[in-house]
Amino acid sequence: LITASDSSIAQEFDYMRFLILKEPASDKLYVKIPKQDKALYLGNNSDDKLQKNFSEYIECNLSALDFDLKSVDGIKTFIEKYKTTCE
């Protein structure tokens, strides 16, 4: 997990009070939901580890495997589902 103010993050997408963070050199993606202080890294994990981290982070009954969390558009789809299901 990283803080939203981490200087290595060059691109930041504010989407409905949620942040999608992207490292320019590696294209690593993170998502930050409003109720969390830190962002969740969405790559280089096994599906099981990603699901565990994702579930603990969002504190809601959504599956990471139902979303393309390797793309900004896929993360936006997750955010829309999160807002209708978890808030």
At 44 the pLDDT is 65
Sign of the torsion angle spanned by Cα atoms 61, 65, 55, 21: negative
Q: Which stretches of the chain drop beneath a pLDDT of 50? A: 1-5, 7-10
Tell me whether strands 29-32 and 11-15 are parallel, antiparallel or unpaired. Answer: unpaired
At 24 the pLDDT is 80
Alpha-carbon 61 to chain mean position: 15
Q: Tell me the sheet residues that pair with 19.
A: 14, 32
At 15 the pLDDT is 67
User: For the segment 36-45, what is each residue's pLDDT rounded down to a tens digit?
Assistant: 999 999 986 6
At 59 the pLDDT is 95
pTM over 0.85: no
